[in-house]
Structure 1
Amino acid sequence: MKKIFLLAFTFIFALAVQAQDKIEWMKFEEAVAANQANPKMLIVDVYTDWCGWCKKMDALTFQDPKVVEYINDQFYAVKLNAEDTQRTFEFMGKKYSEAEMAAVMRVQSYPNFVIIDPTLKNITQLPGYREPEQFLEGLGYIVKKGFRGQ
């Protein structure tokens, strides 16, 4: 019986550790729905397919265990392709393509990280490539200053 308990505990622990090994990216509308059930800030990674710095963020910064843990804990994480005119979704009663939403959020450079408060009304931007420590510092500043739309 002890062996079964130990095996089950090890399996559950391994799943918990594995769950934090990558950022839990969502579609914009999925993050909005999750926010309705459990309010949290959204971080929207606005990227393009041709952006080398975007790819570097994906390969390095977004693989850092501290970044992964912090984003998964504090935010609903969204990937938004600033040039995708095909995929559409509804937000606040209007239909948008990903490209249209990037324009509405006034994103003009890539990568750009748009932070949306839990009320889905206030946004701020954290533009440009950042190493893990710099990225965490920027996000921490936004969270600590109380960017929650309250």
Structure 2
Amino acid sequence: MMQSSVARAEAMLGDDGLYHQPWFLQSFLDLREDLETAASNRKRLAVMWELRGCPYCRETHLVNFADPAIAGYIRDNFEVLQLNLIGSRKVVDFDGTELAERDLAQKYGIRFTPTFQFFPATADGIGGKEPAAREVARAPGYLKPQHFLAMFHFVREEGYRRGSFRDFLEHPKG
């Protein structure tokens, strides 16, 4: 029980109104560079879209990420880049265009928070694809801890190559 309270204390509410994890990716906001960094560390890139005041974003931080098994698995296997659905920081997309966070969210059709976008293991050819085709998986909205962790396993184990997330949940090793 003590571990959970320690993990829970890691989430810090920032001046921007978003909760932050100390292990989130510190980025220059260049998605291609972030994907290449993740790949060189043998990790996958996940983008977490959030919004100030979002109760399900808070729940993701204070429940899901507070579980040491979940946080540990994600830290070991993913670089997580946190972006603000209505933010104004400039982000360089895979195709080289620079957009404010809110415009990037619109480009990718991000409508709910939290939303997690997952990208391929390498940046090869990603910039030439349409935005929706760049993702290998997406988790729009809050997922309870068990399904949240399963989504990260789905991406890490490339379950998307065999079928849908629902298929993966029904037959995790099939």
Same fold (TM over 0.5): yes
47, 50, 59: which one pairs with 2:50? 47
Structure 1 gaps of 5+ residues are 1-17
Name the residue aligned to 1:75. Answer: 78
User: Counterparts of 1:130 and 1:36 in 2: how far apart (Å)?
Assistant: 26
Larger RCO, structures 1/2 (Cα 8 Å, 6+ apart): 1
1:135 aligns to what?
A: 148
What RMSD over aligned residues (CA atoms) do the two structures have, in Å?
2.5
Contact preservation (8 Å) 1:23, 1:77: no
Normalised TM-score (structure 2): 0.63
Q: Is the partner of 1:142 in helix, strand or coil? A: helix
Structure 1 residues 36 and 136, CA gap change in structure 2 (3 angstroms): closer
> SS in structure 2 opposite 1:126?
strand
**Percent of pairs with identical residues:** 24
State how 1:1-150 maps to structure 2 within 5 Å. Answer: 24-26=23-25, 27=27, 28-29=29-30, 31-32=34-35, 34-35=37-38, 37-38=40-41, 40-85=43-88, 87-91=89-93, 92-120=95-123, 121=126, 122-123=134-135, 124-147=137-160
Question: C-alpha displacement at 1:47, in angstroms?
Answer: 0.8
Q: Which has the higher strand share?
A: 1
Cα shift at 1:24: 1.6
Equivalent pair of 1:46/1:81 in contact (CA under 8 Å)? yes
After TM superposition, the score normalised by the length of structure 1 is 0.72
Radius of gyration: which is bigger? 1
The answer as to whether partners of 1:25 and 1:78 remain within 8 angstroms in 2 is yes
Q: CA offsets per residue over residues 39-98 of structure 1, 9 Å max, x none? A: 53211111110211111111111111111111111111111101002x113233211211
- The number of residue pairs the alignment matches comes to 128
Q: How far 1:146 sits from its partner (Å)?
A: 4.7
Q: Give, as a single letter, the amino acid of the residue that structure 2 aligns with 1:88.
A: K
State which drifts further: 117-126 or 44-53.
117-126
List alignment gaps of at least 5 residues for structure 2.
1-6, 11-20, 127-133, 162-174
